[in-house]
Chain A
Amino acid sequence: MVFTEKIIDPRELRHVEGKIELYWIYTSGEAGDYFFKKLRDEGKFTAAKCKKCGYIFFPPRIYCEFDFSETEYVEVSGEGCVVAYAVAYYDKNGEKLEKPEIYALIEMDGTNGRIIHLLGEVEPEDVCIGMKVKPVLKPKEEREGKITDILYFKPA
């Protein structure tokens, strides 16, 4: 083999094929359980406030990441404002999307936290930083207690 030689198809070489066949069932944990059940059953949003420093985490956590104190759940509106956004033309596998999708980083009202989610009912050219948005949920009977129970955020 020399440096200039390029093998395009690895199957031209003596080879053995292998596959890593695993799948996972993730638990959403204590805080996750609380958050997603509230979202699924009541369509409500929950954050968690540090009992010591007052920092409000969204999504909620059982502990404060900064001082390791406990937190308490607080209800929030689920509304927020766009602090950054990207307009995606390709999907996660590098396939061209039929229609560009807008991914936004959303600062959640009444909290110190942000989440990433899709924007909908808005064209990319009309999105701006600082835009107020509110969540659009799946109908209750279709909700599963997952982040995708939120379909997207739309201009408020």
Chain B
Amino acid sequence: MMVEKVKGIKYHKKQDVAIVGAGMTIFRRRLNETGKELSYYAVKQALEEAGLDISDIDMVVMGSAPDAFDGVHMKGEYLLDGAGASNKPYVRVFVGGGTGVFAPIAGYWHVASGLADVCLVVCEEKMSSSHPHPQSAFKYIWDPILDRPLKPNLIWIFALEMRRYMHVHNIKHEDIALVSVKNKANALDHPAAQLAAKITVEDVLNSEPMALPVRRLDVSPPSDGAAAIVMVAPHIARQLTDEPVWVTGVGWSLDTTWWTNRDLYFPRYVAEAAKMAYKMAHITDPRKEIDVAEPYDPFDYKELHHMEGLGLAKKGEAPILTREGVTARDGDLPVCPSGGLLGVGNPIAASLGVKVAEIYWQLAYRAGKRQVAKEVTTGVAQAWGDLMQVGTVVVLSNKR
């Protein structure tokens, strides 16, 4: 048994954990398929890539964000049969937007603990069911006494955060818009993409104001979709592939709900989660040791914000790296080579497909046209959610 101390928690790992297959549906604003059907398609693809059958699965983890999207209370249970979990140990996990990376973390502990040798992780979101707009569901995450009577819209707080980030580091909107330009262009090579496009910085700056400084093209779209990965123990991985991708670190952290009492310019919740994951993965200098990254990018400034939280850039440095092309697909540190949420779409939990699954595909050299130019060994995926509160981080490596 390997014993390690992570963040003061004694961490006992029974066995290593590998990812051997991934799948995802197309991401679209509205899909006819039910959430169960979307889950089925994603699982089917992941199983095929892994070379496994549903009967090989020991346990299933479902990640899905608020019930208010699909409009089914306890939707984890509702989605169960589409996730292939009938009569199996099954659990749904949920930390808002952080769920797409948190569900693989839950899958990790299923296998690392030795409870399961083969764990299927499925993430689903059908946002289009929710009316008048998926955004409406977010109105009810606010404190009902202090915030909600003022009728805030979720984009307002992101506008506050973006403004604070720009102010502290003296960053121009032009520099932030480059992220949207890059990710939407990267998405042109993603077969599942909803909003792939060749756009310019001017297009972003001239797009419709949502809650300034946030404009329409700074934001990712709501989407329907599902994604899945298969996580296995080493002796199973060996039978399936010569090149498994290992989960070398996981971390998660939540900051206080009193979000007004934090300085918004820096995502401490991401930094804490990254610290935990890096310690587990024995990473001391992420900027040097991470080859490819998929930070959560529901807004363009968020990619930069999260790069800094992940230690991939110094505070205020992420826009400079972006401008210099370091984060391009052929750069020294490719960031969101999938096209991210800005380009592929943002079906909250199903962003698994462009975060952990994309890093898996990159490290397995299965990313096709999206494969980054440089040689890759280690990558990081991250998501963020709740009331700007949670950071979830997974580090993957093709070397054990």
User: B37, A26: Cβ atoms under 8 Å?
Assistant: no
Q: Separation in Å of the B32 CB from the closest CB of chain A?
A: 5
Determine whether the beta carbon of A21 is less than 8 Å from that of B129: no
Indicate which residue in B43, B55, B136 contacts A22 across the interface (CB closer than 8 Å).
Answer: B136
In the assembled complex, A66 has its CB within 8 A of some CB on chain B: yes
- The answer for the CA separation of A98 and B352 in the assembled complex, in Å, is 51
Among A22, A26, A32, point to the contact of B68 (Cβ < 8 A): A22
Residues from chain B with Cβ under 8 Å of A32 in the complex: 34
Alpha-carbon distance between A63 and B47 when the two chains are bound, in angstroms: 14
- Is the CB of B281 closer than 8 A to any CB of chain A? no
**Interface 0/1 of A30-59, CB less than 8 Å to B:** 111100000000000000000000000000
Q: How many residues of A contact B (CB 8 A)?
A: 23
The count of A-to-B residue pairs whose CB atoms sit within 8 angstroms is 70
| Alpha-carbon distance between A83 and B37 when the two chains are bound, in angstroms | 28
Interface residues of B in 127-145 (CB under 8 A from A): 128-132, 136-137, 140, 144-145
The answer to whether the Cβ of A68 comes within 8 Å of any Cβ in the partner chain is yes
| Chain B residues proximal to chain A, CB less than 8 Å | 31-34, 36-37, 40, 43-44, 47, 53-55, 68, 70-71, 81-82, 84, 86, 128-132, 136-137, 140, 144-145, 148-149
- Looking across the interface, which residue of chain B has its beta carbon closest to that of A66? B86
Whether B144 pairs with A16 at a CB distance below 8 angstroms is yes
Give A33 to B31 CA distance when docked, in angstroms. 13
Complex Cα–Cα for A5 and B33 (A): 51
Instruction: Beyond the given A23-B131, A63-B40, A63-B82, please list 9 additional residue pairs across the A-B interface where CB-CB is below 8 A.
Output: A16-B145, A24-B131, A27-B33, A29-B32, A30-B32, A33-B32, A68-B43, A68-B44, A68-B53
Q: Is the CB of A16 within 8 A of B33?
A: no
A27 and B44 contact, CB distance less than 8 A: no
Closest Cβ of chain B to A73, distance in Å, is 15
Can you name the residue of chain B whose Cβ is closest to the Cβ of A31? B37
Q: Is the interface of B mostly helix, strand, loop or mixed?
A: helix
A67 to B52 Cα, complex, angstroms: 11
15 CB < 8 A contacts A-B: A16-B144, A18-B148, A22-B68, A22-B130, A23-B132, A24-B70, A24-B71, A29-B34, A30-B37, A33-B32, A63-B37, A63-B40, A65-B81, A68-B44, A68-B53
Across-interface contacts of B131 in A (CB, < 8 A): 22-25
Docked Cα-Cα span, A32 to B33, in Å, equals 9
User: In angstroms, how far is the closest chain A Cβ from the Cβ of B50?
Assistant: 13
Inter-chain contact A68/B47, CB cutoff 8 Å: yes
Contact call A22/B36, Cβ cutoff below 8 A: no
